[in-house]
Structure 1
């Protein structure tokens, strides 16, 4: 499966979701490749740090840029069971090219009105790409939501997503937790660190389930 994590808004935690997904898939015995199409290279840096750590399931990572992303990702998908693509937070050549060959697109957004407004552009882009790749399914993931129990922005934003014809809800809400940043600095997923944050691990298990189900 080719899983693309991307969108038109920066700072929504795409790399956190992509790297944790790849780490969990590898930890479950999956044959997974992480593809970094963001020129900032955050996923590639995570992969390089991970390579230096002992005892972790390997997650090979490559960088791919430009219009050839669709061709290269298709080629790589023939060598790995699963390919997780981390795209930058903008409407880029890389994002569009990856969408042409992806099976699933997950669009992380923060649960704020400003972020949800950007989904109108994403919805239109998905409509265009589905004319070429009709099997593409696009879902929204609420990320970096407040951990405060009285702040219910994510729940309120769900109703707004229902207005978009070509997007659905992944059914996942990931909170803004320091555990994600700590794990990333070590090239790990949150479930791989010593004394893991149980709430963060639960969120990533829900995220993994939304992508791969029981597989």
Structure 2
């Protein structure tokens, strides 16, 4: 499965989700390739930190911020991996557009803030463009950096607004603002590997992983 984590808006936690999903799949015994499609290289730096700490399993990682290079490398090597996770975006780029053509599943993280929800219109247009030249792309909007409260009005309002954007399927597995996610991802770790453990963070990322990969299997 090729899964892209992308958004034209920065600051929505896409790298955190990409690292969490890649490591989770590796811990489940899958051969995983994490591709950093952002010139900042944050995901690549996180995986490098994991390697320096000699954490197992190791995660293969490459950085391709250029769209043609990303597309060529994935096309050449996709058969070598069980799962490929592409972290891309922060702006409309050639890498983001290439990922939309390559991916089976697109995950678009958004925070429950008005500007983040409005920015999804840009991604919706890119999804329409990608679907005009390829079939089968499924796009899921996932609330990230959600308010911790179970009954947050901001969370509920944002979810309702996103559900009205036809290009996305809203996935009701929110990832809330928790230190465990930033602490773990910065070190290239899953929250399941972090000590002390945060059971709520673990439950949230496991729910997201299960939903995304089970959806793909059922298709």
Q: Match for residue 14 of structure 1?
A: 14
| Correspondence 1:90 to 2:91 | yes
Structure 1 residue 106, shift from structure 2 partner: 0.4
Structure 1 residue 76, shift from structure 2 partner: 2.5
Q: Match for residue 3 of structure 1?
A: 3
When structure 1 is superposed on structure 2, of 119-128 and 182-191 the one drifting more is 182-191
Q: Gaps (5+ residues) in structure 2?
A: none
Structure 1 residue 74, shift from structure 2 partner: 2.0
Structure 1 residue 156, shift from structure 2 partner: 1.6
Q: Deviations over 1:157-209 (max 9, x none)?
A: 12211222211112220011111122123221111112310000011001111
Per the normalisation by structure 2, the TM-score is 0.93
Q: Match for residue 179 of structure 1?
A: 180
Structure number with higher helix proportion: 2
Count of residue pairs brought into register by the alignment = 215
Q: Is the 8 A contact 1:36 1:63 kept in 2?
A: yes
Q: Is the 8 A contact 1:100 1:133 kept in 2?
A: yes
Q: Match for residue 54 of structure 1?
A: 54
CA distance in 2, matches of 1:150, 1:80: 40
Per the normalisation by structure 1, the TM-score is 0.95
Q: Is the 8 A contact 1:171 1:210 kept in 2?
A: no
CA distance in 1, matches of 2:67, 2:24: 29
Q: Gaps (5+ residues) in structure 1?
A: none
Q: Match for residue 208 of structure 1?
A: 209
CA distance in 2, matches of 1:83, 1:139: 17
Q: Deviations over 1:91-113 (max 9, x none)?
A: 11110011111100000000111
Q: Is the 8 A contact 1:108 1:143 kept in 2?
A: yes
RMSD: 1.5
1:98-109 matches, cutoff 5 A: 98-109=99-110
Q: Is the 8 A contact 2:67 2:96 kept in 1?
A: no
